[in-house]
Structure 1
């Protein structure tokens, strides 16, 4: 499938911009993760997945599972960019009765398939969904976005083993590997390296790419979707936290990046200056 890389760059920028605008509403939020994974989300929603923005429950849709519930701000930004959620609603982020709570809940938000977290649950849910679609003879795909921190959960590897056992070639696992989690760098807390070789050992078709390189992501998504063998597929996406806002990228502690009140406007201004044509 051909890809319009300039259009994808604009969508990735839009996702980053929406996320920072939502963070500015509450003066907090997991914007570092949203900035880092924006390119992955842009390729998923604007190149790879089959879905209808005006009918997010369309039976023929590909399903996108957000295993990492605290990344909700990133998914909201993608759903706003896609047109599933009106852009005006970002001003309600985290407020009472909003459809955009700070921790994602599927019952509140159109286009959110599952309530993610505690961590390590998404891939298991994805296995169940993929099995169900197989039994319905559906050609839809399940995309499960998880974090590198979830690689330390035993349930993740139980799900990986099950997916290979059941030959779930309609399941694509996206791992956002930013090397950050609450207690420090992921590799120092509990190293899962070499991640790609571990998935391969579990029977998955596995690729590892720069998760902030749109062209590399497009090629990886296409290869995953069209791989001929009846096996589940994994894409390990090495991403940079706070990508696109250099002064935030430089911060040493980035799992929940601290943004001072006056810095929200500065971050938005920097993004505006780098807006692609």
Structure 2
């Protein structure tokens, strides 16, 4: 798909993220908006997931390790036609399938139940090993938060992935520099990610997470790497596209009121 069409889809996804979180009066808009370009590119230009194969093993898989960014995942699944767009406004409501964190038992196309931070990469490693045992050539992609990488389980999984030569695994770090309580460097500071993942035996690539050309090159390169997993460190802007949310940690996990929702939609619909 051409970049201009991808930009339109990513913007529509951002609009739906704002509508979902605003309607629910809760959710995590900042990281969802910031990673929208990455996940849009994955679902429309890299992974082979469709409405028809979403409930099968015969496709690439995506693990949203930072499960609080569920509005992004649901909005992407709607754009792919896997769930109805009208269902998006049931996000976080009573009895909805669209829980605050993804539940693989609720929807086809959700490959792992996540939300407890640090666990997604371990699941992705298991999927990669299963694919190898089954002689299944499909790949597994795992989106990890930079703040989430303060969890020790991430590094245990990273060590295992390299040990088992999971070259069918591509992790992506959503490197926006912020977490719920401020700048990552002021909390623990797991960066530099490239040096650390290389030390664990991974191939690493640094990109601008909003540049489709760089993302295209990085994902293509990842497919050529043999004998080790790949980590793409994607520099992103938390709250991307909404003027008052960009690079503001306070918008990690709260919903805008009616006035701020209108401003956000004006920012996005004006593009």
Quickly name the TM-score band, shorter chain normalised: over 0.9
Unaligned runs of 5+ in 2: none
CA separation of 1:63/1:252 partners in 2, compared to 1, >3 Å: closer, same or farther? Answer: closer
Is residue 35–residue 209 contact of structure 2 (8 Å, CA) maintained in 1? yes
Structure 2 CA distance for aligned equivalents of residues 251 and 169 of structure 1: 36
Structure 1 stretches of 5 or more lacking a match? Answer: none
Whole-angstrom distance in 2 between the partners of 1:95 and 1:220? 38
In angstroms, what is the RMSD of aligned CA positions? 1.4
CA distance in 1 between counterparts of 2:255 and 2:10 reads: 22
* C-alpha distance in 1 between matches for 2:99 and 2:181: 24
2:31 matched residue in structure 1: 33
State the Cα distance separating 1:192 from its structure 2 match. 1.3
* TM-score, normalised by the number of residues in structure 2: 0.95
Q: In the alignment, what sits opposite 2:53?
A: 55
Paired residues of 1:131 and 1:168 also in contact (CA < 8 A): yes
Mapping of 1:61-140 within 5 angstroms? 61-140=59-138
Matched residues in 1 for 2:249 and 2:32: separation?
17
User: Do structure 1's residue 264 and structure 2's residue 270 form an aligned pair?
Assistant: no
| Contact kept in structure 1, 2:29 and 2:251, CA below 8 Å | no
Name the residue aligned to 2:40: 42
C-alpha separation in 2, matches of 1:90 and 1:252: 25
| Structure 1 equivalent of residue 228 of structure 2 | 231
Equivalent-residue separation in structure 1 for 2:253 and 2:148 (angstroms):
16
Q: Distance in 2 between matches of 1:195 and 1:206?
A: 9
Task: String of CA shifts for 1:208-237, please: whole Å, max 9, x gaps.
Answer: 11111121111111111223x221011011
How many residues are paired up?
Answer: 271
TM-score, normalising length from structure 1? 0.93
C-alpha contact 1:51 1:58 (8 A) present in aligned 2: no
Following superposition of structure 1 onto structure 2, how do residues 84-233 of structure 1 map, counting pairs within 5 Å? 84-227=82-225, 229-233=226-230
